[in-house]
């Protein structure tokens, strides 16, 4: 198995950054998400270098839903990133982490009045997904005596090769306004008093492993931009969304490099901008590819059972990492205290949840596993903790940040008290 540079093996123990994974599990308990700070910074710089070497005016908006831990947002804020936020909660956390309001974009197809109010109050731009949203925001901004800058999300109707649940730019997707009617939406926005369209937004899906769909997206987007420019829209930003995939199978082919991605999208964009004589910011919204490989999930073996397969019962289940159960996704598995030992059997890694589907990994060839061993699932940084739940009366686990040989909690594990924190008893009980 090829390991990324922040993971290594020493004395049969898996290491992340300069820390021994077995020691981290002992110190902080399991299950445990462990994130390498420098890897996130390196991923950010990979994007930044690839894009800004081709075009000056770029901005990277981290998709906060991939992993919304405030420490991660803080790291990215330090690097100058903004964020794609999809709720008032994400917006508030991003601002608290030090991100500038003008570097945020409030996305989503179903915002509430309170969402719009918060965006207006904080001076955050809004990506609109319907004419109803346009009208609501115009009114709310007017009541506040403010003018809000907006974009519309356009549906480019592109078929992307990914899991159907995370393809968001299909003609049939719930997201965006069809390219055929997008000019109509902008025409309506242009006559609004309290809203001014200054951008356009698009996001075609997630875990996309070839760059062609992004090239296609850029093409569709530029046709729309040219048309809107003619109509009088003064562009300040063009946002291509996120979606670049990562290589979960470490024996498989590599995920597209940042440079390949930049090569796919930039020529079309730059030539259109040059032709139109405009130079708005280019925004991208990577989530998964920014944080996924930075993080491992450590989980302890409670028991090993020989049945029709050999089941390894661990303390993390789909309450901790739902991706295998929800998307049939694959995560590489290592025995963190026996790394590099010879394979001795085929194991299925199962969680503690009362559901047949609670399986983290099927039929993996691993060293001989015993009670008390420590399993590591790799590439758990995106849509891992952020999708964790308290299902089955289990508090969410802790998250630790590693920088070199330093480690610290960035979120403690939840206790039974946390499970009860929001509970209210009706007076007749
Ligand atoms: C989820 C999402 C992203 C991030 O997608 P990744 O595949 O994690 O890069 C970006 N923009 C929007 C609007 C999203 O919904």
CA of 289 to the centre of ligand 1 (A): 10
Nearest to 216 by CA among 165, 175, 179: 179
CA of 367 to the centre of ligand 1 (A): 36
pLDDT score of 161: 77
Query: How far is Cα 329 from Cα 84, in angstroms, rounded to an integer?
Result: 24
CA of 162 to the centre of ligand 1 (A): 13
Query: How far is Cα 101 from Cα 105, in angstroms, rounded to an integer?
Result: 8
pTM of the model: 0.96
Annotated binding residues for pyridoxal 5'-phosphate, written as ranges, equal: 243, 285-288, 383
Show Cβ contacts of residue 221 under 8 Å, excluding neighbours closer than 6 positions: 154, 156, 200, 202, 238, 240, 269
**Would the CA dihedral through 72, 33, 316, 321 be positive or negative?**
positive
> Is 206's C-beta closer than 6 angstroms to any atom of ligand 1?
yes
> Is 286's C-beta closer than 6 angstroms to any atom of ligand 1?
yes
For the segment 337-349, what is each residue's pLDDT rounded down to a tens digit?
A: 999 999 999 999 9
Residues of the chain with pLDDT under 50: none
pLDDT score of 163: 82
pLDDT score of 159: 80
User: Which domains can be identified in the chain, with CATH numbers?
Assistant: 7-30+294-420 (2.40.37.10), 37-289 (3.20.20.10)
pLDDT score of 348: 98
pLDDT score of 207: 94
Annotated binding residues, written as ranges, equal: 243, 285-288, 323, 327, 355, 383
pLDDT score of 104: 98
For the segment 251-309, what is each residue's pLDDT rounded down to a tens digit?
A: 777 788 999 999 999 999 999 999 999 999 999 999 999 999 999 999 999 999 999 99
Q: Are 156 and 169 in contact (CB under 8 A)?
A: yes
Residues recorded for the chain = 429
pLDDT score of 170: 78
Our mutation pick for probing the ligand 1 site, out of 285, 294, 380, counting the most ligand atoms within 8 A of Cβ, is 285
> Is 287's C-beta closer than 6 angstroms to any atom of ligand 1?
yes
CA of 243 to the centre of ligand 1 (A): 6
Query: How far is Cα 264 from Cα 339, in angstroms, rounded to an integer?
Result: 38
The pair of structure tokens assigned to 278 is 């405009």
Annotated binding residues for substrate, written as ranges, equal: 288, 323, 327, 355, 383
pLDDT score of 164: 78
Query: How far is Cα 102 from Cα 117, in angstroms, rounded to an integer?
Result: 16
> Is 241's C-beta closer than 6 angstroms to any atom of ligand 1?
yes
pLDDT score of 157: 86
**Which positions are annotated as active-site residues?**
354
Q: Which atom of ligand 1 is nearest to the CA of 127?
A: 13
CA-to-CA dists, residue 39 to 154, 321, 355, angstroms: 32, 21, 34
> At 208, phi and psi to the nearest 5?
-100, 120
Nearest to 127 by CA among 205, 269, 216, 239: 239
pLDDT score of 135: 98
Q: SS3 of 246, please?
A: coil
Question: Rounded to a whole number, what is the largest CA-CA distance in the chain?
Answer: 71
């Amino acid at each position: 198995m090829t390991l990324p540079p922040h993971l290594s093996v020493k004395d049969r123990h898996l290491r992340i950054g300069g820390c021994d994974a077995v020691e981290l599990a002992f110190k902080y308990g399991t299950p445990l998400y462990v994130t390498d700070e420098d890897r996130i910074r390196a991923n950010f710089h990979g994007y930044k270098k690839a894009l800004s070497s081709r075009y000056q005016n770029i901005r990277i908006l981290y998709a906060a839903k991939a992993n919304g831990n405030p420490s991660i947002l803080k790291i990215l804020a330090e690097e100058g990133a903004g964020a794609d936020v999809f709720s008032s909660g994400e917006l508030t956390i991003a601002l608290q982490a030090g991100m500038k309001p003008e570097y945020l974009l409030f996305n989503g197809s179903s915002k509430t009045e309170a969402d719009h109010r918060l965006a207006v109050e904080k001076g955050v731009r809004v990506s609109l997904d319907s004419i109803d949203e346009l009208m609501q925001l115009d009114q709310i901004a007017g009541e506040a005596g403010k003018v809000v800058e907006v974009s519309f999300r356009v549906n480019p109707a592109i078929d992307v090769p990914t899991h159907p649940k995370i393809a968001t730019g299909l003609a049939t997707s719930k997201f965006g306004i069809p390219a055929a009617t997008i000019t109509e939406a902008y025409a309506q926005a242009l006559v609004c008093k309290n809203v001014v369209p200054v951008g356009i937004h698009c996001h075609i899906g997630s875990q996309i492993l070839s760059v062609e769909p992004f090239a296609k997206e850029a093409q569709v987007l530029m046709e729309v931009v040219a048309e809107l420019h003619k109509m009088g829209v003064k562009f300040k930003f063009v946002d291509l969304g996120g979606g670049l995939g990562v290589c979960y199978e470490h024996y498989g082919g590599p995920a597209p490099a940042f440079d390949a991605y930049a090569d796919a999208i930039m020529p079309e964009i730059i030539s259109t901008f040059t032709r139109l004589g405009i130079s708005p910011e280019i925004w991208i919204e990577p989530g998964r590819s920014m944080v996924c490989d930075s993080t491992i999930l450590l989980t302890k073996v409670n028991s090993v059972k020989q049945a029709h397969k050999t089941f390894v019962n661990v303390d993390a289940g789909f309450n901790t990492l739902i991706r295998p159960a929800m998307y049939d996704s694959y995560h590489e598995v290592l025995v963190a205290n026996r790394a590099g030992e010879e394979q001795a059997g085929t194991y299925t890694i199962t969680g503690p949840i009362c559901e047949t589907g609670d399986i983290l990994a099927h039929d993996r060839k691993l060293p001989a596993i015993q009670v008390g061993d420590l399993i590591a699932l790799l590439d758990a940084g995106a849509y891992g903790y952020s999708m964790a739940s308290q299902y089955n009366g289990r508090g969410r686990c802790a998250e630790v940040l590693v920088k070199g040989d330093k480690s610290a909690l960035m979120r403690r594990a939840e206790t039974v008290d946390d499970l009860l924190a929001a509970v209210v008893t009706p007076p007749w009980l």
